[in-house]
C-alpha cells in the first residue's frame, strides 16, 4: 500500500570526478544495472507517494537512465548552486505545497542499502517523533565522510564534513552515510537558513541537523549493523568492492533457493538473471542480463551467457553466448560461440569450436565441431559435418542457407548462400554446394584424384621428403 506520508529524494546531481570516466558515476554498471537503478529499486520497494531524482551533471543521460529504471519517477534539475542542501531544496519545491509527511533522502551512488534498513530507519524516525534521523556507520577509516559528533549524553549533536572537521573530529569513526529522514515542514524551514559559508562553498544538507538541534527539536542518528550497507561508490576500487559484495549476496540467495554453485568465488550473476531449482553452475560461470536457466541445466565451467534462455536439462560448457535460445537437453560446447539469433532445438548440439549466428537448429540437429553456421536453418535430426562453412555474405548482402530434416552433410563443406539442401539429402566430403540439392540426393563436386608418380624426386631432389620417398620405394621394390 502506498505510504501517502512518504516522499523519497534520490540525489544524482554530482559529477563523480574520482571515477575518471566520461560516464556519469551513477550510470556505471553493477550486477547488470546502473548504480542508480539499485537505489531506485530500493526506494520504490517502500512504495512512497512521491519519488524524485535530482540531476544536473550530464543531465539528459542520467534522466533517461532514471526513467528507464523507473518510469514513474519525477526528474528535478538542480541549478548552479552546489550542494546536497540545494538538491533537497529543489526536490521539496517539486512536492505538493501542503505535503507535511516525511522526506527520505538517499544517494544515487549507495547501491547496497536495502529496503529493510530504510524501513527500519523510517520506523525509528516516526516512533521518536524526530525532526530528522540519519543513518550512520562505524568504520575503521572514515576518510571522505562527514563525522557524526555526539553530545555528552550520546545523542546526535551535529555533523561535520571532513574538509571542515578539526583534527579531533576527523578521528571520529562514526560517519554520516548521507541517508536521512526529515519532517518535511522542518526541512523546508531550515534549508532556507543554510548558507554556503564553508570550505567547499556548498549548501550542505547536514547543516539542517545542527539548526534543528539548535532549536531544541529532536534529531537522532541510527547506526547500521554493517558498514558496507551504506558504502558509497566514488572510484573504480569502490565499484569493484561493491560488485564483489553484491555478487556474494546474489549467489548466496540462489544457493538458498536451490541452485548448486560449485565455486561461488568465480561465479558472477546479475540481479536480472532468473534460475530454477536444481540448476548447477560450475566454476568460472558468468550470467548476465535477462538470462534464464531452467531446472536441471548444467552451465559451465568457464561459460558466459548474456540475455540467453537455457532449457531444462541442457548442458552448456566453456561457451560464450549472447541472445541465444538453447532448448531442452541440448548440448553446447566446449568452446562454442553462440551469437545473437541462435536457436538450438531440443536435444540439439553445437559442439567444439563451432560459431553460430542468426541460425535455427531443429530438434536433434547437430553441428558437432569446427564449423561456422550463419543465417541458416537446419532441420530436425540433421548432422552437419566437421569443418563446414556457410558462406552467407556476398560482400554486400547476407543470404540464408536452408538444410532440410535428417540430412547428412560431409566434412569440409561450403554452402554458398542462398542455397537449399533438401530433406534426407547427403553431400560428399569437401563439396562446395552452389545450387540447391533435391531431397534424398547426393551432392558431390570434387574432381577425381590424380597421383603423379615420382613427382617429389623430380621436383624436390635432395630434400628430406625425397630421401624418405626413395627409401620407401626401395623397400617396396625389394619386397615385390
Cβ contact 111:230 at 8 Å: no
SS (H, E, C) 213-266: HHCCCCEEEEECCCHHHHCCCCCHHHHHHHHHHHHHHHHHHHHHCCCEECCHHH
Nearest to 117 by CA among 102, 128, 108, 106: 106
What sign has the CA pseudo-torsion 352, 358, 359, 360? positive
Question: Strand locations in 23-107, DSSP E?
Answer: 29-30, 33-34, 48-55, 74-77, 102-107
Cα(348)–Cα(279) distance, rounded to whole angstroms? Answer: 19
Which of 369, 399, 406, 412 is catalytic? The answer is 369
**C-alpha cell, 463:** 630434400
Nearest to 174 by CA among 207, 210, 134: 134
Instruction: Find where cell 545450387 sits.
Output: 435
- Count of CB atoms within 10 A of residue 461's CB? 10
Nearest to 198 by CA among 157, 149, 163, 147: 163
CB within 8 A of 18, min separation 6: which ones? 234, 235
Cβ contact 340:359 at 8 Å: no
- Count of CB atoms within 10 A of residue 448's CB? 4
Cβ contact 103:92 at 8 Å: yes
Cβ contact 92:84 at 8 Å: no
**C-alpha cell, 33:** 544495472
Active site residue 406: no
For residue 95, how far is the Cα from the chain centroid?
34
CB within 8 A of 26, min separation 6: which ones? 12, 16, 34, 35, 36, 39, 62, 65, 108, 109
CB within 8 A of 218, min separation 6: which ones? 128, 129, 130, 131
Cβ contact 187:130 at 8 Å: no
Q: Which residues are catalytic?
A: 369
Amino acid at each position: 500500500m502506498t505510504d501517502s506520508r512518504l516522499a523519497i529524494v534520490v540525489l544524482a546531481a554530482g559529477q563523480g570526478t574520482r571515477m575518471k570516466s566520461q560516464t556519469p558515476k551513477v550510470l556505471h554498471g553493477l550486477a547488470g544495472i546502473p548504480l542508480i537503478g539499485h537505489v531506485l529499486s530500493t526506494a520504490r520497494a517502500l512504495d512512497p507517494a512521491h519519488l524524485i531524482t535530482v540531476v544536473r551533471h550530464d543531465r539528459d543521460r542520467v534522466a533517461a537512465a532514471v526513467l528507464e529504471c523507473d518510469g514513474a519517477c519525477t526528474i528535478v534539475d538542480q541549478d548552479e548552486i552546489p550542494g546536497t542542501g540545494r538538491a533537497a531544496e529543489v526536490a521539496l519545491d517539486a512536492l505538493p505545497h501542503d505535503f507535511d509527511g516525511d522526506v527520505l533522502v538517499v544517494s544515487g551512488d549507495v547501491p547496497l542499502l536495502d529496503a529493510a534498513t530504510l524501513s527500519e530507519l523510517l520506523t525509528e524516525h516516526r516512533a521518536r517523533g524526530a525532526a530528522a534521523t540519519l543513518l550512520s556507520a562505524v568504520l575503521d577509516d572514515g576518510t571522505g565522510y562527514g563525522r557524526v559528533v555526539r553530545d555528552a549524553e550520546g545523542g546526535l549533536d551535529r555533523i561535520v564534513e571532513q574538509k571542515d572537521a578539526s583534527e579531533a573530529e576527523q578521528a571520529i569513526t562514526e560517519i554520516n552515510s548521507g541517508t536521512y529522514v526529515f519532517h518535511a515542514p522542518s526541512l523546508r524551514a531550515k534549508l532556507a537558513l543554510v548558507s554556503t559559508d564553508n570550505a567547499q562553498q556548498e549548501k550542505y544538507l547536514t547543516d539542517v541537523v545542527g539548526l534543528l538541534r539548535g532549536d531544541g527539536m529532536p534529531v537522532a542518528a541510527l547506526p547500521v549493523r554493517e558498514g558496507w550497507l551504506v558504502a558509497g561508490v566514488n572510484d573504480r576500487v569502490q565499484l569493484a568492492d561493491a560488485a564483489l559484495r553484491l555478487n556474494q549476496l546474489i549467489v548466496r540467495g540462489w544457493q538458498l533457493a536451490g541452485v548448486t554453485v560449485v565455486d561461488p568465488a568465480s561465479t558472477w550473476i546479475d540481479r536480472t538473471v532468473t534460475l530454477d531449482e536444481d540448476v548447477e553452475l560450475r566454476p568460472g560461470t558468468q550470467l548476465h542480463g535477462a538470462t534464464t536457466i531452467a531446472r536441471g541445466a548444467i552451465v559451465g565451467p568457464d561459460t558466459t551467457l548474456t540475455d540467453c534462455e537455457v532449457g531444462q536439462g541442457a548442458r552448456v560448457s566453456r561457451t560464450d553466448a549472447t541472445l541465444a535460445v538453447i532448448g531442452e537437453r541440448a548440448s553446447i560446447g566446449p568452446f562454442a560461440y553462440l551469437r545473437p539469433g541462435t536457436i538450438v532445438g531440443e536435444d540439439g548440439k553445437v559442439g567444439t569450436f563451432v560459431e553460430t549466428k542468426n541460425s535455427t537448429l531443429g530438434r536433434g540437429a547437430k553441428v558437432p565441431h569446427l564449423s561456422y553456421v550463419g543465417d541458416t536453418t537446419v532441420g530436425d535430426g540433421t548432422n552437419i559435418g566437421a569443418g563446414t562453412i556457410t558462406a552467407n555474405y556476398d560482400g554486400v548482402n547476407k543470404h540464408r542457407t536452408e538444410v532440410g530434416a535428417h540430412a547428412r552433410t560431409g566434412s569440409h563443406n561450403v554452402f554458398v548462400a542462398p542455397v537449399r539442401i533438401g530433406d534426407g539429402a547427403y553431400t560428399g566430403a569437401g563439396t562446395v554446394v552452389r545450387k540447391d540439392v533435391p531431397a534424398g540426393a547426393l551432392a558431390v563436386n570434387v574432381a577425381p584424384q590424380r597421383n603423379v608418380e615420382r613427382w617429389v624426386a623430380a621436383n624436390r631432389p635432395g630434400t628430406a621428403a625425397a630421401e624418405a620417398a626413395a627409401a620407401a620405394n626401395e623397400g617396396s621394390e625389394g619386397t615385390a
